[in-house]
Chains A and B, each alone.
Chain A
């Protein structure tokens, strides 16, 4: 029997050969190099940076001023992921629309789901708004595993940082003491800052607010704000005239004077509601990097609490 390789496949041989050469091309030694951490969001990146210090390099995929539900799975992110030693995700299906294809395509076994370099930070946090009973899309773009905006409680920030420090120590045992020391320092700074934030927010305890999306349950619980309504009729569903009219009635009845909006939402409807109710629209940052000044996890709360206190002071 004679086997002849199809002639027309010969054109592909150089390509296949090139791919094989690349496969056996030795990667540079990286024993002493920094651990490469890629985080799905800037918040996870900021917390990783706090505990990883100069022993890690951190990059994030989503920007702080970007809606983390709707990030494009751009090929340039694959370049980051293929080099990563550790991928930190928010989880709870926040990134379900864009991260899974990136993980599948990146060709990096270290960061596949369940591998040693994959860390779902939600496992460390207190999760709110876990739906019970029947869950359907009639409820909007609901997250069946709970609200994924959990990093907006400093206590959860501490827990996540603890989890990241433990993971980094597992990956680099020789630096375990360094990561532990960084975590302890971070925790102490957080304790100090929390006292300040609590003092600033104390006069606002129990104050009623409206938010655009359900991004703030952990923040509201931690600082005792009362979220009584949303600009969105359901999570992920654009505002409708009927719902807006109902919301205006509710705000007038409950005398709500502050509307919190994430930086990636259109201000048209919130502004219209504010005009009708005499309320203020406050563009609050849900993530690190949402504004130039918000460069780390502490400044995120400094910024938001500063905005809130000024807004409430300005309202009757």
Chain B
């Protein structure tokens, strides 16, 4: 019973004692804080009195130029001024000057975000075609690009394509820019270096569609675009010739051209490119490409593609934005192993474009191509293209396309296209 009484007393009185002691402590702390605030107020008033009457409203945007032409000291690579924010003028007990932006580290981190761009590609078609039917109106592709330098040794590029049927990764790769021996390597999914048109994204094509030979022999719009490794190097060459060799190894999937059923069914692409400036304004670009892989009939069947391309460009430097001319021919041979025999097909396109002035470009293309699975069937066609550039960030294009299919059907179509660029889309290789 005594124990119970002692325990009850402890339970009842100790908290009250502690509470009273806590109150005393709190009051003392409050007093100390009040004194501290008074001291700070006094200090603040003293500082305010000591300040000059008119403080500069904000930091100058640029460093002031030296008044005299005297030899300047070594350039100070001044660190960037910290982010600042203006406070409301009437804020109590707050200095009138700028304060650091808290959380500035996170807002500054946005500076390290990749360059983001979106390219819209809207296509419409008028006319009837049973050869290559296209929807009358289509948001054909929206390409989202994310590009940035990764570290001192590499950069990364991603290009996602949003079509009306779904989303795809057109390219996504890391480029190692600081390898020894002058090598440049890429790892990821990429358009292979087979020929010229295969490397080009839709928005940099000089036409709305792709040539017939691409559709018939080289995997269509997506082209030879696969996951793998690429390595290239500039080779020594005489007389100002630029010579470059590229070797690429892929998983072995590329549309209807390459298909892998085993992990060892990889495909390979090699390219040798020679370029020379003929004059200051004119240059010649020639390439030879080879692509080998297994086709959709199985591991025992292979397809080999060969490509020979030549491009002649003329662009007068003083009037480069007004006039230029480009003519290009690309020849593709296909050797497709089939149960009966090796099917050998050939196709080509030849095209020319002339920039009439800053806003208008006119061009044309002739196509002819066998079909990869039956080289006895040959399609042909030609196109005329007119492009209008409101600015360098948008273009409106129309294309008259005539196609004669191997089955004897003809198609006359008018295609039109609106291309527009949002954001910072990195420049493409030449």
Q: Which of A103-111, A199-207, A249-257, A294-302 contacts B (4 or more CB under 8 A)?
A: A103-111
Beta-carbon contact of B427 and A96 below 8 Å? yes
Interface residues of A in 51-68 (CB under 8 A from B): 63, 65-67
Give the residue of A63, A126, A266 whose beta carbon is less than 8 angstroms from that of B63: A126
Contacts of B392 in A (CB 8 A): 141, 236
Contacts of B74 in A (CB 8 A): 162, 166
Cα–Cα, bound, A100→B249 (Å):
25
Q: Which of B27-35, B315-323, B344-352 contacts A (4 or more CB under 8 A)?
A: B315-323
Beta-carbon contact of B427 and A76 below 8 Å? no
Q: Which of B81-89, B215-223, B240-248, B401-409 contacts A (4 or more CB under 8 A)?
A: B240-248
A 8-33 to B, binary, CB cutoff 8 A, 1 in contact else 0: 11011001101100111000000000
Cα–Cα, bound, A237→B292 (Å):
46
B17 within 8 A of A: no
A312 within 8 A of B: no
A190 within 8 A of B: yes
Give the residue of B61, B69, B180 whose beta carbon is less than 8 angstroms from that of A155: B69
Cα–Cα, bound, A115→B177 (Å):
11
Beta-carbon contact of B321 and A127 below 8 Å? no
Contacts of A18 in B (CB 8 A): 235, 245
Contacts of B328 in A (CB 8 A): none
Contacts of B187 in A (CB 8 A): none
Beta-carbon contact of A73 and B178 below 8 Å? no
Beta-carbon contact of B283 and A70 below 8 Å? no
B95 within 8 A of A: no
Q: Which of B44-52, B118-126, B159-167, B262-270 contacts A (4 or more CB under 8 A)?
A: B262-270
A113 within 8 A of B: yes
Contacts of B424 in A (CB 8 A): 96
Given A22-B235, A105-B184, A155-B69: A74 and B275 interface contact (C-beta under 8 Å): yes
B290 within 8 A of A: yes
Contacts of B236 in A (CB 8 A): 22
Beta-carbon contact of B270 and A115 below 8 Å? no
Cα–Cα, bound, A315→B298 (Å):
81
Give the residue of A66, A141, A191 whose beta carbon is less than 8 angstroms from that of B318: A66
Cα–Cα, bound, A132→B58 (Å):
13
Beta-carbon contact of B182 and A107 below 8 Å? yes
A 93-104 to B, binary, CB cutoff 8 A, 1 in contact else 0: 000111111011
Give the residue of B75, B152, B234, B292 whose beta carbon is less than 8 angstroms from that of A124: B75
Beta-carbon contact of A74 and B72 below 8 Å? no
Beta-carbon contact of A130 and B77 below 8 Å? no
Given A19-B245, A112-B178, A190-B69: A72 and B319 interface contact (C-beta under 8 Å): no
Beta-carbon contact of B233 and A79 below 8 Å? no
Beta-carbon contact of B178 and A109 below 8 Å? yes
Give the residue of B233, B266, B290 whose beta carbon is less than 8 angstroms from that of A107: B233
B131 within 8 A of A: no
A187 within 8 A of B: yes
Beta-carbon contact of A184 and B182 below 8 Å? no
Contacts of A292 in B (CB 8 A): none
Beta-carbon nearest neighbor of A113 in chain B: B149
Cα–Cα, bound, A75→B283 (Å):
10
Given A12-B247, A23-B180, A65-B318: A238 and B358 interface contact (C-beta under 8 Å): yes
B23 within 8 A of A: no
A114 within 8 A of B: yes
Cα–Cα, bound, A100→B290 (Å):
28
B71 within 8 A of A: yes
Beta-carbon nearest neighbor of B186 in chain A: A104
Beta-carbon contact of B75 and A123 below 8 Å? yes
Given A126-B62, A130-B61, A264-B320: A108 and B427 interface contact (C-beta under 8 Å): no
Beta-carbon contact of B277 and A74 below 8 Å? yes
Cα–Cα, bound, A279→B315 (Å):
31
A38 within 8 A of B: no
Shortest C-beta distance, A269 to chain B (Å), equals 11
Cα–Cα, bound, A237→B178 (Å):
37
Given A73-B427, A74-B283, A78-B234: A130 and B247 interface contact (C-beta under 8 Å): no
Cα–Cα, bound, A191→B245 (Å):
51
A278 within 8 A of B: no
A133 within 8 A of B: no
B130 within 8 A of A: no
Beta-carbon nearest neighbor of B322 in chain A: A266
Give the residue of B66, B183, B184, B245 whose beta carbon is less than 8 angstroms from that of A104: B184
A182 within 8 A of B: no
Beta-carbon contact of B430 and A75 below 8 Å? yes
A194 within 8 A of B: yes
Contacts of A79 in B (CB 8 A): 234, 240, 242
Shortest C-beta distance, A316 to chain B (Å), equals 31
Cα–Cα, bound, A23→B247 (Å):
14
Given A112-B177, A266-B322: A76 and B283 interface contact (C-beta under 8 Å): yes
B3 within 8 A of A: no
Beta-carbon nearest neighbor of B61 in chain A: A130
Contacts of A97 in B (CB 8 A): 427
A82 within 8 A of B: yes
Beta-carbon contact of A78 and B182 below 8 Å? no
A149 within 8 A of B: no
Interface residues of A in 225-250 (CB under 8 A from B): 236-238
Cα–Cα, bound, A103→B177 (Å):
8
A263 within 8 A of B: yes
Give the residue of A96, A101, A238 whose beta carbon is less than 8 angstroms from that of B429: A101
The chain B residues found within 8 Å of chain A, CB to CB, are 61-66, 69, 71-72, 74-75, 77, 149, 152-153, 155, 175, 177-184, 231, 233-236, 240, 242, 244-245, 247, 249, 264, 266, 268, 270, 272-273, 275-277, 280, 283, 285, 290, 292-293, 302, 304, 313, 315, 317-322, 357-359, 391-393, 424, 426-430
Given A66-B318, A75-B285, A146-B62, 12 new contacts (CB under 8 A): A8-B292, A65-B317, A65-B318, A74-B275, A79-B242, A100-B426, A104-B184, A109-B179, A112-B177, A123-B75, A137-B391, A140-B391
The chain A residues found within 8 Å of chain B, CB to CB, are 6, 8-9, 11-12, 15-16, 18-19, 22-24, 63, 65-67, 70, 72-76, 78-79, 82, 96-101, 103-109, 112-115, 123-124, 126-128, 130, 132, 137, 140-141, 146, 153, 155, 158-159, 162-163, 166, 184, 187-188, 190-191, 194, 236-238, 263-264, 266
16 contacts between A and B (CB under 8 A): A8-B292, A12-B247, A18-B245, A22-B235, A74-B430, A97-B427, A99-B427, A100-B427, A101-B426, A101-B427, A101-B428, A101-B429, A106-B234, A109-B180, A115-B178, A266-B358
